[in-house]
Structure 1
């Protein structure tokens, strides 16, 4: 009986031991490979790179912890690696995952000195970082489980892989994970270039990430006694840091835009670093100059015409308190910037040509909601003008008349084809659509002008190097796009509205400004043969600016950016035989008689005492068929020149007469004070 009892007991013990062993074995973690761990690692930040591969902007995505890009072991300062091994695992390169001498020392410290020092190797610590939370390594069985798993890990991972993963995954001060994030937060530099003092200060945090300043200093002194005298002040200063790393902040709104598309990691954009930087500087400078006129915000978009690549994306001034509002995508009233597409529609429908004549005179437009009485911004009427002058000088009354001439929804339909979003139905706007009462974005507006630059062909934008090649659609005929482009490129066409020496005076570029009701929005959009640049200036709050028009608000930014592009990225010159150049030889349509464009009758001018008289000039501009037959007389005396003359003003009242074929066509009087 006794023998049978002992046999049964032994069997029970054996079964219990076997069951415990099976349970223990099954409770071991399923180890992932190095490649799996690295592939599943995610930075807390999105890194927007420039076209050249340089960091433009760092955008935080994960709010739970702060970790940067996975850092290769070769990119960690050898002195930092050495100090971490000295602090955490002196025999890392000798053991196979477990250091029994360290374990025994730990037991001794706990039993006889009351220390809580552990004996875990870096391999054992890494296990806690890469295995699920449900796997426990505490207690006797947990420690045994950790030891066995450490041996397994060392069988399948190299020492380099273990150390590299450890340096990327260890939690350090505050919310930071990995030596890269901590190095940037504490020292404003990558872990590649840490000094010995910096490396020691960082290494001793591994064991106690949130140690007090006193303990932090003591640990550093114990590890590197030769620097002990330097640590108190050094660590005291480090402890005051906000632990917010210095970030590249050159493309906030682009990063904000791309953030929903990319979880983390690096995204190579189409933005050029030098163009982005210069554009931001010009925006900030101009807004600072205009702040006394209640101007706080601005946005700029630079697009390469042929590819649709965005070369600069500046969504705000960097000064405003509305930092995260993206001015590139914000809806604002278009003002006169829609007029080129109105006239292009009329050209397409064979209603007008650039040389047609249209009368700028008072008119009442009757429509469903009442009578509309359009006026020019200066409250004057200029009589008969050519279409090219009406468009480039941004006259309102002719634009409304063109809208009525169309007598359909074709203008509204063209705006839709150009990609303008969220347009209300045509009847919502009525004839006022010709004057830009619709809300548009800078992006859509710049894209529409780029369509003119591309001979009437529309394609989508590209923001990253991985964006697909855009599909093209023809919105305007090539001839129409070139005619409108040529009108907007000729300085004399806009002299009536802006004079000969405005911020729009530039060689080889077509440009148009716009100002919305109550001066709430300034626009300047234009292009050369290679780039289209769009600028908006105003206030995100919707407050009106004080006496700021498109030519004084947005245009100076546009002119500087387009000049920078022309200098650094020259555009191809238009050959004389091109279709665009050929638009200059279209014969003028019949006009009743020659007329004075500038100055206007009754105009009062004031001399500037700060400028020498010889340097003050007033243009005399005329238009009409056969300009070679025109002749100016000032106060009865003939002057050289026909179509245009520069006159040095003198105080007093002056009479300007324009003769056509020896006959008086028109005369005006001007008072100079």
Structure 2
């Protein structure tokens, strides 16, 4: 075959191959469905309550500032008209490519004129939705061809109004601002539908060169809007290009928003909260903190739980206008529990049939040996009441009876029970906390308090709380139902706490509600935690910095806010607490009559008609003071006759006496003048040694 003929046949094949390669290299990505694109959330995440009402919003994308997708009808028609006229005046006529503009750009290049763009709005949209395409304005012919092909594909699948709507929502305008909605809110401080014509002129200029200096933006805006006074446009440009408008956020749940709306979260995040309950809890806390301002109380927090489902209805992490640390989330911040752990202790003792609600506990001084020395618990008012029933001990929040109860249950069983009902932070061995655990020396959170008290409200069943609006976490039995019911009845009894809190304390409601207050060491924390059949409410007040409150009691601190919240939650009185099978009401009397006769609650098989104090002769003799291991330090400046040690005992036997190092002392109690050294103190009747302790004198 002659060479010229062969070349003539090869050339078309080469051209076809080159065309195929070009078509392959410029193949656009599949066009996304318009609805899926419009459904993508912006850079703002919104926290909503269970009914979809907005609670808070946060910008969660540090790179871009884009609002929710705006329909075309929500954007100023004047702005749409001006933008189309400036960027693609034949937009409504062409099918993705403006061939007249393409021809004009090519002719201008041949004439050596400055390059001008021929990108249509459809081509710009193609580049905006596909990061692989070159951005509009680039001069590379292959990129332009790829944009053109993508634009034709978009035009084949989307309506013109959809293309225009997408462009207006995806258009970069200034810095990190994307879309007309974000530009209107952050630059003009108004909705996109309410933009003024002068504002629109500035945005038209920014659409072509988002990063242009202010002077260039103004010059282009004035050229693009000859119908407007340039002085008015200059004022609009100064406003739009100046400091950004603050985002007007409704922050009804700021701490929860910070917890759930982290970086990368988009769109609406639904929670179990109820906006109305959240508002009433915030208002109740603010009022109470205002009333406590003179007592050096600046902070408060509260949580409300729906008992049946475990869903959290309110999460108020901080309140009060005087707070100096309002960013702290008081719902999750660990604080010392105070007396709020006592209901779980007494429930454990009743469940194990160690005590009943009528059992007598001695509210008298007690010294307990620990690894770090003597532990001597005191009551809140520094007084002692002698023998009291468990009902009175819990109702009046007495400390010494609680410690005596802990001696019966054991430290580790009580620690494990606290963990099981929801106090997940109390996770070290019981010996780590010591006897002070009965009085709430451990740190807990409001979230844990609500979970633990809900377990009592559910008759001993415990389970996690949830913030998901449709979730209902499973529960499991952790407390005997009868013991839970008895403790609930004791906490709901106003008469049981009357001696310490008065008959008409703020804890008394016109319906059945169980509640316990607590105050931590040095008056740093005050709690009120309680429940009805329907809701559990936990309230804390104090100071996040840890400084002490002044003169705040169990009924004057968190309790008024707790009562106000409970009253607001119950439009109608809820039903009372029911008693499960296995709980009996029986008459009891006390001998001597330390408390009046009454009808009391008992687990089946634990009732007895009379609760009496043991006779002195029935009490086993033992030394009560000093305790084993006591270390005494003599003061050389004080006469020895004034440093006598009083040695006390209990119980009675004929011929009973106290000796020190085998030397008999006269009297019971006995007095001894200590001398330096190690000594053994014994209690004996001459035949039997009933008790002995060792002390060191320095």
- Same fold flag (TM > 0.5): yes
CA contact (8 A) 1:357 1:384 kept: yes
Q: Distance in 2 between matches of 1:194 and 1:498?
A: 62
Q: Give the superposition deviation at 1:553.
A: 2.8
Residue 128 of structure 1 aligns with which residue? 127
| Change over 3 Å in CA distance of 1:83–1:135 after alignment to 2 | closer
- The structure-2 alpha-carbon separation of the partners of 1:192 and 1:498, relative to structure 1 and needing over 3 Å to count, comes to farther
Q: How many residues align?
A: 592
Distance 1:100 1:491 in 2: 87
2:515 match: secondary structure: strand
| Equivalent residue for 2:362, pick from 351, 356, 359 | 359
Alpha-carbon spacing, 1:374–1:71, altered in 2? closer, same or farther (3 Å): same
Task: Say if 2:170 is the partner of 1:163.
Answer: no
Cα-to-partner distance string for 1:612-642 (whole Å, 9 max, x where unaligned): xxxxxxxxxxx42279xxxxxxxxxxxxxxx
| Structure-2 separation of matches of 1:589 and 1:367 | 37
Relative to structure 2, which stretch is displaced further, 72-81 or 95-104? 72-81
**Residues 355 and 81 of structure 1: CA distance in aligned 2, closer, same or farther (over 3 Å):** farther
Give the match for residue 381 of structure 2.
Answer: 378
Unmatched segments (≥5 aa) in structure 1: 595-622, 628-673
Q: CA distance change for structure 1 residues 190 and 369 in 2, over 3 Å: closer, same or farther? A: same
Q: CA deviation at 1:85?
A: 2.4
Query: Residue 526 of structure 2 corresponds to which residue in structure 1?
Result: 522
CA apart distance, 1:16: 5.2
Kept in 2, the 8 Å contact 1:31–1:153? The answer is: no
Report the CA distance shift for 1:593/1:318 in structure 2 as closer, same or farther (over 3 A): closer
Q: Show CA shifts across 1:74-126 (max 9, x none).
A: 54454543443233223222210022334456568889997765332110111
Deviations 1:594-623 (A, max 9, x none): 5xxxxxxxxxxxxxxxxxxxxxxxxxxxx4
1:318 and 1:474 map into 2 onto residues whose CA distance is: 38
Match among 292, 299, 322 for residue 297 of structure 1: 299
Distance apart, 1:256 and its partner CA: 2.8
Question: Separation in 2 of the partners of 1:547 and 1:107?
Answer: 86
* Structure 1 counterpart of 2:509: 506
Tell me which of 530, 540, 544 is aligned to 1:536. Answer: 540
CA distance in 2, matches of 1:348, 1:562: 29
The offset of 1:273, in angstroms, is 1.0
For residue 587 of structure 1, give the secondary structure of its aligned residue in structure 2.
strand
Within a 5 Å distance, the mapping from 1:226-375 to structure 2 comes to 227-228=228-229, 230-259=232-261, 263-291=265-293, 293-317=295-319, 320=323, 322-375=325-378
The question of whether the paired residues in 1 share the 8 Å contact of 2:31 and 2:153 is answered with: no
Tell me, which stretches of 5 or more residues in structure 2 are unaligned? 600-698
Q: Secondary structure at the match of 2:313?
A: strand
| 1:535 partner SS | strand
Deviates more, 1:283-292 or 1:474-483: 283-292
> Structure 2 residue aligned with 1:456, among 460, 470, 478?
460
2-structure distance, mates of 1:552, 1:210: 59
- Counterpart CA distance in 2 for 1:543 and 1:12 is 92
Q: Is the 2:527–2:538 Cα contact (8 Å) retained in structure 1?
A: yes
CA RMSD of aligned residues (A): 3.3
Contact 1:168 1:180 in 2 (8 A): yes
Distance in 2 of aligned mates of 1:510 and 1:206: 64
Give how far 1:343 is off.
1.0
Q: How does 1:549-568 map to 2 (within 5 A)?
A: 549-567=553-571
Distance in 2 (CA, whole Å) between partners of 1:209 and 1:475 is: 63
Whether the 8 Å CA contact 1:34–1:161 is kept in 2: the answer is: no
Q: Is the 2:289–2:320 contact (alpha carbons within 8 Å) kept by the matching residues of 1?
A: no
Return 175-184 or 79-88, whichever deviates more: 79-88
SS state at 2:68 partner: coil
Distance 1:248 1:218, change over 3 A: farther
Note if contact 2:589-2:596 (Cα within 8 Å) is conserved in structure 1: no
Secondary structure at 1:483 match in 2:
helix
- CA separation of 1:198 and 1:499: change in aligned 2, threshold 3 A: farther
The alpha-carbon deviation at position 258 of structure 1 amounts to 2.5
What is the SS of the residue equivalent to 2:587?
coil
Q: Which residue of 1 aligns with 2:576?
A: 574
Find the counterpart in structure 1 of residue 597 from structure 2: 625
Stretch deviating more after TM superposition (514-523 or 323-332): 323-332
Equivalent-residue separation in structure 2 for 1:262 and 1:507 (angstroms)? 47
Q: 1:465 aligns with which of 450, 466, 469?
A: 469
CA distance in 1, matches of 2:528, 2:113: 74
SS of the residue 1:247 aligns to: coil
The alpha-carbon distance between structure 1 residues 477 and 64, as it changes in their structure 2 partners (threshold 3 A), is: same
Q: Is the aligned partner of 1:421 residue 2:424?
A: yes
Q: What do the CA deviations read for 1:384-429 (whole angstroms, capped 9, x no partner)?
A: 2222221122111111111112246332221121121132111111
| Matching residue of 1:143 | 144
**SS of residue paired to 2:100:** helix
Question: How does the TM-score come out when normalised to structure 1?
Answer: 0.79
CA contact under 8 A between 1:213 and 1:239: conserved in structure 2?
A: yes
The match for 1:659 is: none
Question: Runs of 4 or more off by more than 6 Å in structure 1?
Answer: 107-116, 580-584
Counterpart position of 1:608: none
Rounded Cα–Cα distance in structure 1 between residues aligned with 2:563 and 2:580: 22
Partner residue of 1:593?
593
Secondary structure, aligned partner of 1:172? strand
Q: Please give the alpha-carbon distance, in whole angstroms, between the structure 2 residues aligned to 1:145 and 1:499.
A: 83
